[in-house]
Every structure is written in structure tokens, then in C-alpha cells.
Structure 1
Amino acid sequence: MEATEAYTFSTLTNLKTLELWKNKLRRVPSKLPSNMEVLKLGNNRIQVLCEADFEGLAKLKVLDLQNNKISIIQSRVLSSALRLESLILDSNRLELLTGPLKLSCLKRLSMQNNRLSSLPLNFFSFLPSLHFLSLSGNLFFKIPQELPPLLWSLKMDKNLITELKIKDLNYLRHLSELTLSENHISTTNNALTLSNLSTVDLSKNQLKAVPTGLPSHLRMLDCSHNFIRKITLQELSGVCGLKHLFLEYNNITVIDLDARQHCLQLSDLALEQNHLSSFPKGLPDTLVRLDLKGNNIKDICKETVKNLKRLQVLNLRSNRLSSLNSEVLAYFPRLRRLYLDGNPWNCTCDLIKIRDLLTAKQMEIKSGDCATPAYYQGETWLSSTKILNNCGYNIWHGMKGKAFLESYAKVSLNHDSSNIDTPTDYEDYYDYDIY
């Protein structure tokens, strides 16, 4: 549908919701009924908005115009929509707003994936009720000034911001969610001290250290894909409420937390693809998920893991482990998912003993293949009958190999074998729900 005739909807006086998604409309339908509350015109070809388009729509609450071709919005174009609460203008060609939008009831404004680099002076002075603002995917070099004081969520990822300043955010006392990923931020200048700040995303920036001055009630911090080299208590001291910390894809070689003395309550810690040569020390005993994939860890000492009794997911893929200590595994009574593939395993009979301990726990395991000795290369040590045959006598102190294999077969039948070294739709499983 490319157009609607005048008065097409005007006689439908009780019409409250109109959705005309994915058509070929070039303008907003005219003479819409005055009882209209929800109008969705996304994925069309609308280029221009006129004040007359929304004349009489005093009850309109939701207006969705995403994925059109709008480049300019005049300040009075929505002056009739006095009760508008949600305005979505994502993925248009917006370059200019000629003035403020006087929408005193507006709570949600999304203009992401456009071409905006600035906003009109006093733009937010006429949006006193705004709680959610998304300017992601634009051309802003800094955070706009004089944001609404009641703002709860601010999304400015995929812009050109290079640094934060205290004056950018310090008056936003209600701000809870801040998204600044995929910018060029190298420093935050203690601008994240807001008392109600709960979630901060600074991934894919140019940080060389974890920001300092974080609020004590912060629950999620994402600093992945940066240039951080060291994690110390200087950055995390006092952040007692932190549950989820994402630091994957950095250059971290040192972690000095001593979490127990500083009340860290981490549930999820992601350290994937860093440069750690040993299992981190001082991790909090509250950890449920720990990702150490793609580091240089060669062994695991019981001193570093003895307090991790709540751990359920442990990812050690693609490190330099060649063996496991059975005493270490005893410290993980709640472990449900263990990823070990991609390591250079030395498949001795001692390692096969570990296999028995792991399968007894009925967990999901990715064990990986043998690197040594040469005659076991390519064998999956968790399930290889070749290795089991050769080690059958050693495991049970003289039990005949045949008897061992028979008992192994019974265990395999009783155990859900789909959880062991089977392909799945995901590479690594993490459920990072914030609770």
C-alpha cells in the first residue's frame, strides 16, 4: 500500500490502535480519528512530517515512525499530541531538529541510528517527564547538555564520544542505566558516581583501566573490549553491590582483588581472551559463573579455588592446561557446566581418573582432545575407548579391563550422554540475568 485516501479512517471513531507496518506509505494517513492512542507506521517511505498530520490527535500516546526516510523534524509538528508518551524515530535520516518538541508527557524518546550530531538549545527543557532516551548510532562527540533530571535510562552507544566529564551526568540523580559502548572513551574522570546508577556499559572503547569512583550499588559493569591491563581494589573498592563484571577481550595480566576483605558480591565474572598466566587469586566466594577462556593458564592450585563453592559454570577453554588435579575438582560441589576443550591435554591414566570424577557429577562437559602422547593425539579423553582400554587396570587397582569397560558402559547408559562433548547451538553458555 503506497497511500490511503483522505478520510479512510475518519469514520472509525472508536479506533484506538492503527498499525500500518511494512507498506509503501509516503506520508502519514490524513484525518485520523481523534480517539487514536497508538499509531505505528514503521518500515514505510515517509519523508516529511506535517503539523496537519497529527491535528486533533490529543489522545495519542504512542507514535512509532522507525525505518522511514525522515530527515528533518519541525518543532511544532507534534504540538497537537499533548499526551504523547512514546516517540520512536529510529533508523531514519534525521540530521536536524529545528527546535524543541513541546511534549510534557513524553516518557520515552528513541532516535537511534540517525545522523544527529547535536540537539537544539534547551531541547530537553520541554520534556520534563522523559525517563528513557536513546541516541545510539549517531554522530555525537559529547553527551548533550541539560538532560531531563528524571532520566532513568540513557543510551549513547555507537557515537564519537572521547571522554566523560563530571558535569555531563552529575545532576542525573535518577539515572540507573547508562550505555556508552562503541565510542572512543579513554577516561571517565570520576563521572560515574551517581548514587542510583545500576548498569554501566563501556564496552568497545579505549579504556586503559577500570573506572574509579563507581557507586556502591552498581550491579553490572561491562568494560569488555578495551585496553585494560590490571584489575585492583583501587577501582572496585566500595562497590559492594556489584554482581556482574565483564572484562573479556582486554590485556589483563594481573588481578589483585582480595574480594573477601572488601565485600565484593560478584556472581558473574568474565575474563575471556586476556593474558592471565595463572588462575586469579582472591575471587569472591559468591561467584556462580567464571569465564577464563583464551588465556595462558597452565595449572590450577587449590588455594585459588577453595572458596568457589557456589560456582556453577567454569570456562577454561583454549588455555595451556595439560592436566587436572582431583583435589581441585572437589572444591566445586555445585559445578554444572565445565568447558575444557582447546587445551594441550596430556592423556595419562591419571587424567582418565579425573574423567570418572567428572562424569559422576552429571554435569555438561567439553573435554577436548589429547595433544600428548603422540599415539593418543586427536582422541577425546573424556570418551575415548582406546584410552579406557589401555588404562582399565590402573583405574581400579587391578580390576580387569573388561570388567571396567562393562561398568563404564553402565555409567554411560545411566548418564545423560547428550551433555558430554556433544555439539550444541551455542559456543559458551552464560545466563547473565541481573537479579
Structure 2
Amino acid sequence: MMGPVLAACLLIILSTAWISQANEALCKKDGGVCSCNNNKNSVDCSYKKLTAIPINIPTDTENLKLNYNKLRELEPTAFHGLNKLTYLNLQWNQLQTLPVGVFDHLVNLDKLYLTSNKLKSLPSGIFDKLTNLNKLWLQNNQLQRLPNGVFDKLTSLNDLRLHNNQLRSVPEEAFDSLEKLKMLQLQENPWDCTCNGIIYMAKWLKKKADEGLGGVDTAGCEKGGKAVLEITEKDAASDCVSPNTTTAIPIGTMTPASVIYDDIHEIKVPQENFQKFLGYQEPDHLPTQPQCLMSISGYLGLMMSLMLTSAAILYVFHFLKKA
């Protein structure tokens, strides 16, 4: 017979194993897609090929991993009810935009990772409610501009990564609220040091370099090989127009329609391009000539079938009436 001490030890081992398994169990509420660790209030949905965020993630979740999936967009209410989140990882997805207000309920968020997506722009006020945020990683995207005041509310931020994007300048006062910043990564952006829009950034980086902020020398000019913090007002004398700014066309420079019309007949269009336009484009563009003929043929065939069917029905009714 099993001794009482051995039985007690076996019971403890089995209980520990059961508790461990329960803590790492699949989240039942979201259909068993993600792994949950209840002791750490952690939900791991990474590497699941997800195209949408699982529903009913436990409301007490503090750490949520959604990295390495196939998310292209987020619902505006995707994180509503998850106001205890302190860690959110959305790295290595295919996000192209962020809806306004998607992070507004995450008032306790400490770390937000958006690295390696396809973001080209950010909505105004997208981070305004994240006043406790310490880390914000936006590197390896396609950001072309930053909205005015995008970091104004992030007074607790100490780590900001913007490297490997398409930024040419930042708005005036963009970094002024980041008094607790300790690390800033700006390399691998095409910073335009010929336009006076870079002067604010150059002066701010120079000041922060003197204060010992890490990473301020990582911003290099697209041309010339200088660091942005070395640029002076003389270097950036041009009053350039941002490529993201819409400007009205002066009336005096508009080309009269008659001139445009007169020049049309002189445009030489290669025969192969003309044929491509008429009949050889991809199926998801203009229909080809054979496709048009097939569509017409199908339509006529359908009409003929309907006419024959109608005639047959009328003949049957007529025959039954005589009978």
C-alpha cells in the first residue's frame, strides 16, 4: 500500500501540474485561440495568423501580445473594456492605418509596440489618452509625416523610436513635451536639411545633445552627410513646401483649356499601349474585347432561354385549356 507521505507528495505534484496547466490554458472566452496565464494576467495571441482581434479577451488582461499576425486594420472599439492593459504588442502585422480613438480606453498603458507595420500616417490625437506611456515604438513603418501635437500628452515617455520611416521633418514643438525622454531613435529617415522646416528639430536635438539625451545624433540629413543637429539656418535657407501640404494652383498659371485641346492631337500613343488600353488590361481593370463579347453573348443567350421557357409555358397552358 502507498504510504501517507508518498500519497501526499503525489497529490501536491499533481495539484501543481494542474494549476500550471490551468494558468497556461487556452482562453475559453475567445474560442481557444490565445494562450492565457491567469497568474500574470497575460494573453498571448502571437503567431496565430490572425486577421482580426479575438473577441472577449478577459477584461483583467494586463499584457496582450498580438505580434506576428496578419492584422490589416483595427476596429475603433478593438480594445474597449481592456483598461487594465499596461503592455500591448502589435509588432509585425500589416496595419496601414489606425482608427481615431482606438487607444483611448488604455489609460494605464505603459508600453505600446507598433514596429514593422505599414503605417503611412497617424491620426491627430491618436496617443492623447496614453498619459502613462513609457515606451512607444514606431520604427520600420512608412510614416511620411507626424500630425501636430502627436506627442504632446506623452509627458511620461522615456523611449521613442521613429527610425526607418519616410520622415523629412517634424512639426514645430513636436518634442517639447517629452521632458522625461532618455532614448530617441531617428536614423534611416530622409531628413530634408535644405528646408527651413528642419530648423526646429535641429535646435531641439542640439539642446538635448548637450543635456545627454541618447540617440539625438542618429538623425542624418538625406543629402550632405551632416547630422541634423549640425544644421544652421544658413544651411536650411529654402522655404520649401512640404510634399504632404495641399496648395492651391494660382489662377494666373492655369493653362487654358483650348491650349490643352489643341495639343491633344500631337500626342503619340504607341500601338501596343493603345491595344492594352482597349483590350489587354488585367481582369480587375477594364474588360477586354473578348470579355465584352462573351458578356453580350451570355446576356443574349439568357434572354433567348427566358423567351423559349415563356413560350413553352404558354403552350402548355393553351393545351390544357383546350383539353
Q: Same-fold call, TM > 0.5?
A: yes
Q: Provide structure 1 residue ranges, at least 5 long, that are not aligned to the other structure.
A: 1-54, 60-79, 84-102, 107-126, 134-146, 156-163, 171-186, 395-435
Partner of 1:365: 215
Higher helix share: 2
Aligned mate of 1:231, from 59, 74, 80? 74
Q: Please report the TM-score for the alignment, with normalisation by the length of structure 1.
A: 0.46
Partner of 2:126: 282
Partner of 1:348: 194
Residues 311, 335 of structure 1: 8 Å contact kept: yes
Cα gap change, 1:344 to 1:261, in 2 (>3 Å): closer
Instruction: Quote the offset at 1:360 in angstroms.
Output: 2.1
The CA RMSD over aligned residues, in Å, is 3.6
Residues 24, 36 of structure 2: 8 Å contact kept: no
Counterpart AA for 1:278:
S
Aligned mate of 2:24, from 132, 150, 154? 154
Distance 2:42 2:36 in 1: 12
Partner of 1:273: 116
Secondary structure at the aligned position of 2:98 is classed as strand
Distance 2:34 2:161 in 1: 33
Aligned mate of 1:130, from 3, 8, 17? 17
Secondary structure at the aligned position of 1:105 is classed as helix
Identity of aligned residues (%): 25
Distance 1:245 1:286 in 2: 13
Aligned mate of 2:41, from 198, 202, 217? 198
Counterpart AA for 1:365:
G
Distance 1:339 1:240 in 2: 29
Partner of 1:249: 92
Residues 24, 37 of structure 2: 8 Å contact kept: no
Secondary structure at the aligned position of 1:360 is classed as helix
Distance 1:233 1:188 in 2: 22
Residues 200, 222 of structure 1: 8 Å contact kept: yes
Residues 197, 217 of structure 1: 8 Å contact kept: no
Instruction: Quote the offset at 1:261 in angstroms.
Output: 5.3
In the alignment, structure 1 residue 292 sits paired with structure 2 residue 138:
yes
Partner of 2:11: 104
Distance 2:101 2:179 in 1: 22
Counterpart AA for 1:354:
M
Residues 140, 165 of structure 2: 8 Å contact kept: yes
Secondary structure at the aligned position of 1:269 is classed as strand
Residues 231, 257 of structure 1: 8 Å contact kept: no
Q: Which has the larger radius of gyration?
A: 2
Instruction: Quote the offset at 1:194 in angstroms.
Output: 9.6
Residues 243, 268 of structure 1: 8 Å contact kept: yes
Residues 239, 264 of structure 1: 8 Å contact kept: no
Instruction: Quote the offset at 1:199 in angstroms.
Output: 0.7
Distance 1:193 1:222 in 2: 11
Higher strand share: 1
Cα gap change, 1:257 to 1:217, in 2 (>3 Å): farther
Secondary structure at the aligned position of 2:205 is classed as helix
Matches within 5 A, 1:302-341: 302-341=148-187
Distance 1:296 1:393 in 2: 27
Distance 2:157 2:166 in 1: 21
Distance 1:205 1:225 in 2: 8
Instruction: Quote the offset at 1:256 in angstroms.
Output: 2.1
Cα gap change, 1:354 to 1:269, in 2 (>3 Å): same
Partner of 1:31: none
Distance 1:195 1:293 in 2: 31
Counterpart AA for 2:44:
D
Instruction: Quote the offset at 1:313 in angstroms.
Output: 1.1
Counterpart AA for 1:339:
Q
Cα gap change, 1:356 to 1:191, in 2 (>3 Å): closer
Partner of 2:226: 379
Cα gap change, 1:233 to 1:325, in 2 (>3 Å): closer
Distance 2:8 2:36 in 1: 35
Q: Provide structure 2 residue ranges, at least 5 long, that are not aligned to the other structure.
A: 239-323
Instruction: Quote the offset at 1:309 in angstroms.
Output: 2.2
Instruction: Quote the offset at 1:213 in angstroms.
Output: 0.9
What is the aligned residue count? 229
Cα gap change, 1:349 to 1:336, in 2 (>3 Å): farther
Counterpart AA for 1:368:
A
Counterpart AA for 2:113:
A
Cα gap change, 1:315 to 1:131, in 2 (>3 Å): farther
Matches within 5 A, 1:23-102: 83=9
Bigger mean CA offset, 344-353 vs 245-254: 344-353
- 1:258-295 CA deviation, whole Å, 9 max, x = no partner? 26753532111000000111135422222221100011
